[in-house]
Amino acid sequence: MKLTVLIDNNTLIDRYFLAEPGVSYLIETGGKKIIFDLGYSNAFIINARKLVLDLLDLDYVVFSHGHIDHTGGLDPLLRLYLEAAIEKLPLKKPKLVAHPSIFFSKKIGNLPEIGSFVSEETLSGFFDLRLSKDPVQLTERLVFLGEIERKNDFEGLQPMGKIRENGIEKDDFLLDDSALAYRSDAGLVIITGCSHAGICNIIEQARRVCREERVVDIIGGFHLLDPPPIQIRKTVSYLKALKPAALHACHCTDLNSLLALADAAELKEVGVGLTLEY
């Protein structure tokens, strides 16, 4: 598997890409091309062009969850597809994989919308939609984990804003939050967006779904932004016992949390332009 970081909060030093608070990874494995999240804007398209990466032949577009810093790139991607069709360029119709509540309206505080600005109806003309609470096998080795079971007592316990479902507004516990897992020969590589469900919950789901205990690497947001002391303490303890070879924690992980995670495993730099191969 080859993974290229198209969007992160940071860029690699002396690499002239665009960064923004968000996530987008291009994954190539098993003869398939998968883009996981699209960041906030068209920056992922600009970065892909600089890296000479084609986004017109994607097999899958997969979303970790519905927040705008992960789905905001939908509108520019649709414009890219529309213009390609006008110019009669070769263009695949990708499958879109996500949780069924991915396109429900979300808001927080006085912000009227922090979810996707593009509707499910509009997307159905550009993608084959596969919205599932259950895991979805993307390739022989890569799987979308579906709705994450929340089994521990320190993660995913607090709502973040509100979600509107079937005309009813309720607390948003980000049940749409999911991740990917890749079965390498050395163990699992887990790829996250924000980990609102909890990074430890996500890892346990990956181990159950893939029937593999070993974890070699985790890349993505850990959603550790000024976390309660008990959460960071139990997360570090869990990761120490897990013994991954490396951690590529990024996006929504603050400095103090990164320093704490560095005590659990070898912490690696992440930024736009980074390429990892497993």
Cα within 13 Å of Cα(9), Cβ side: 13
Please tell me what DSSP assigns to residue 238: H
Report the pLDDT averaged over residues 170-187. Answer: 98
Q: Would you kindly state where each structural domain of the chain is located, as residue ranges?
A: 2-277
Q: Which residues contact 83 (CB under 8 A, 6 or more apart)?
A: none
β-pair type (24-29, 32-36): antiparallel
Mean pLDDT of the chain: 97
Yes or no: say if 40 and 69 are a contact pair by the CB < 8 Å rule. yes
Cα gap 259→234, rounded to integer Å: 15
Q: Write down the pLDDT at residue 79.
A: 98
Q: Write down the pLDDT at residue 151.
A: 96
CATH number of 2-277: 3.60.15.10
Query: What's the pLDDT tens digit per position in 60-98?
Result: 999 999 999 999 999 999 999 999 999 999 999 999 999
Helices (H), the chain: 43-50, 68-71, 74-86, 120-123, 199-210, 229-242, 255-261
Specify whether the backbone of 47 is left (phi greater than 0), alpha (psi in -120 to 50) or beta. alpha
Query: What's the pLDDT tens digit per position in 137-154?
Result: 999 999 999 999 999 999
Please tell me what DSSP assigns to residue 211: T
pTM to 2 decimal places? 0.97
